[in-house]
Structure 1
Amino acid sequence: MNHPGTTPFARLTAAPPPSARVRAPGKVNLSLRVGALQDDGYHPLVSVFQAVALFEEVTATQVLPGSGVSLTVDGPQAAAVPLDISNLAWRAALLLAAHTGVEPDVALHVRKGVPVAGGMAGGSADAAAALVACDALWETGVPRSELVELAAQLGSDVPFCLLGHTAVGTGRGHLLTPAMTRGEFHWVFGASDRGLSTPAVFAAFDELTQGGAPPVGLEDDTALMQALRAGDPTALGAALHNDLQDAALSLRPELARTLEIAHETGALGAIVSGSGPTVAALARSRQHALAIAATWTAEGAADTVWTTTGPAHGARQTS
């Protein structure tokens, strides 16, 4: 009971713990050229990446000292994402903590927006976003150039998800040079509920080429680079290339029909994205992209269909 002349206390609620939210993009390989397996166990790659506006969102939230790393996931195909140290976002948090000397105490939450195990670097985008989010939360102030070096330790696609836009990747795909691009491109992605193992696709590539893949170089992509500089989607569609496509098709022959339907629907180009099994189709416009998507859905040619644009920005804090 309140006595006369007194004011009731306001109800107090605890402030939410500090957090940082970061979005990082998925990617499409406009060109992927793969050399023969080397003694170090890697294939030399030359790839032209484009970031697309399908984003992974990672929120890093402060927890009590000694809590360690925890991870939760929601969004499409969330059940397929590991929730332990095998997850690249978890490993990114540990790597940044070790690099900066802070305790790796953080709760990570991933909101999926990129197909899982679809050759579009969804896990790599999680790692890139986690690096930026943990750096912001822990106020470690690591320069972006150092974050790129850390990203390369996590996987060959992680540096690109950090930087975004369009770039040429060499080495294992992790040495990046920005590519001049004009305009906006309209993409349709047909994803499968069953992923494809990247090591299995490379093994199939080695079997198909019998270890005799030719040397790779950017000179093979002159027409593609000119199309990007001109902002010419028709020329870009004609120049799309993926050395792993035949290997992916050998493991998942039904993807050939997905590619065929895209061409029948007037796609400017269609390609298996990276190691697959996602198929990427380049459209003339947003309306054309929706038409390709509708045809894929009607024909049962993909389990999930996404339309979006590229290029998109790299990992960026949103709160």
Structure 2
Amino acid sequence: MTFEGAAHGSVTVRAPGKINVALLVGRLMDDGYHDVATAYQAVSLFEDVRATPADDVSVSFAGPIATEDLPTGNDNLAVRAARLLARETGHDGGAHLHITKRVPVAGGMGGGSADAAATLVACDALWGTDCGRDDLLALGARLGADVPFALLGGTAIGTGRGDQLSPALSTGQFHWVLAVSDTGMSTPSTYRALDAHRERHSADISPASPAPTVPDDVMHALRSGDAVALGEALTNDLQAAALQLRPELGDTLELGEANGALAGIVSGSGPTIAFLVSDVESAIDLQVTLSAAGHRALRVTGPVPGARILEA
């Protein structure tokens, strides 16, 4: 897609959620952060942001998931994105952002990052600020590690904090079933649990690398479009910590893997569980099974494009 645009009366932009098909977490650094290596796949669960002219920046929500507890001030990532773009470009107006949310809140799928990415593209077009792709990617990186990927979509490798991106070749389409939780998880809490786990078991496990890399078997599976191979290669260093914080997620993983999933993985910092399946029929069967067990289950595919204008 093209990120440049001219001023409009209203602009609607769609951006995808993501699954981390691999997430390797480096050791805790002196600044309190971790370097990571991750393989992102954008999937067909989208956030839509409609931006209309206004004197200031404001936000409202709609969609199939609960949004009443979401912040509407500068704690909201989309609001911060609009204000950052205005400040950096010298634009003196604002925008009302109406967000149709479908990606689980605090679910490990980058919904807030998708909102921020869509907002950057929408406001750039609405205001005619004509930022190029590289400029928007740089602004996205200042907002959060997953925002640049939501701008690009597809499949990519992220290093550093996850925001240093390089495209990854991926062949074909992968089918996923998501088991979505009604209660989110705090990403910082999951990282703290990982650090505590590593400290407790330091005598039994190898020390974490300061600069992890995505395993070769993940890259080969993506390049070949081999769902079976990718299922065998799925990895997430945060999964053990997420399961410690939410033990019931282990039962969900076992249920899916016993009913047709090639493999299951905690998405990002959790609590969404992503099950990889072989085809659409298997996805439908697993969705029915999970739903019958009381889970909210969604079928998605990937990879899909990043933030793009739907209507202007």
* TM-based fold match above 0.5: yes
Whether 2:100 is the aligned partner of 1:105: answer no
SS of structure 2 residue aligned to 1:34? strand
1:217 matched residue in structure 2 = 212
- Work out the CA distance in 2 between the residues paired with 1:298 and 1:228: 31
**Aligned mate of 2:284, from 284, 290, 294:** 290
Q: What amino acid sits opposite 1:83 in the alignment?
A: T
SS of structure 2 residue aligned to 1:44? strand
- Work out the CA distance in 1 between the residues paired with 2:310 and 2:288: 32
Which aligned segments of 4 or more residues in structure 1 are displaced greater than 4 angstroms? Answer: none
Kept in 1, the 8 Å contact 2:41–2:156? The answer is yes
Whether 2:76 is the aligned partner of 1:82: answer no
1:167 is displaced (CA, Å) by 0.3
- Work out the CA distance in 1 between the residues paired with 2:269 and 2:237: 9
Whether 2:13 is the aligned partner of 1:19: answer no
Q: Which digits, 9 at most, give the CA deviation of each residue in 1:69-92, with x for residues without a partner?
A: 111001122223221211100000
1:294 is displaced (CA, Å) by 1.2
SS of structure 2 residue aligned to 1:318? strand
1:280 is displaced (CA, Å) by 0.2
RMSD, aligned α-carbons? 1.2
Q: Which piece of structure 1 moves more, 17-26 or 153-162?
A: 17-26
- Work out the CA distance in 2 between the residues paired with 1:81 and 1:28: 22
Of structures 1 and 2, the one with the larger relative CO (CA 8 A, separation 6+) is: 2
Q: Which digits, 9 at most, give the CA deviation of each residue in 1:20-53, with x for residues without a partner?
A: 0000000000000001110121101000000001
Kept in 2, the 8 Å contact 1:93–1:104? The answer is no
Whether 2:310 is the aligned partner of 1:318: answer yes
Kept in 1, the 8 Å contact 2:25–2:212? The answer is no
- Work out the CA distance in 2 between the residues paired with 1:217 and 1:177: 15
Q: What amino acid sits opposite 1:230 in the alignment?
A: S
**Aligned mate of 2:232, from 232, 238, 244:** 238
Whether 2:29 is the aligned partner of 1:38: answer yes
2:3 matched residue in structure 1 = none
**Aligned mate of 1:178, from 162, 167, 172:** 167
TM-score (norm 2): 0.93
The structure having more radius of gyration, on CA atoms, is 1
Kept in 2, the 8 Å contact 1:80–1:116? The answer is no
- Work out the CA distance in 1 between the residues paired with 2:97 and 2:212: 39
2:136 matched residue in structure 1 = 147
Gaps of 5+ in 2: 1-7
2:298 matched residue in structure 1 = 306
TM-score (norm 1): 0.91
- Work out the CA distance in 1 between the residues paired with 2:70 and 2:44: 21
1:142 is displaced (CA, Å) by 0.2
Q: What amino acid sits opposite 1:74 in the alignment?
A: A
What does 1:52-131 correspond to in 2, within 5 Å?
52-63=43-54, 67-75=55-63, 76-131=65-120
2:4 matched residue in structure 1 = none
Kept in 2, the 8 Å contact 1:51–1:311? The answer is yes
- Work out the CA distance in 2 between the residues paired with 1:256 and 1:266: 16
2:39 matched residue in structure 1 = 48
> Identity over the aligned pairs, expressed in percent?
52
Kept in 1, the 8 Å contact 2:35–2:212? The answer is no
Q: Which piece of structure 1 moves more, 259-268 or 122-131?
A: 259-268
1:198 is displaced (CA, Å) by 0.4
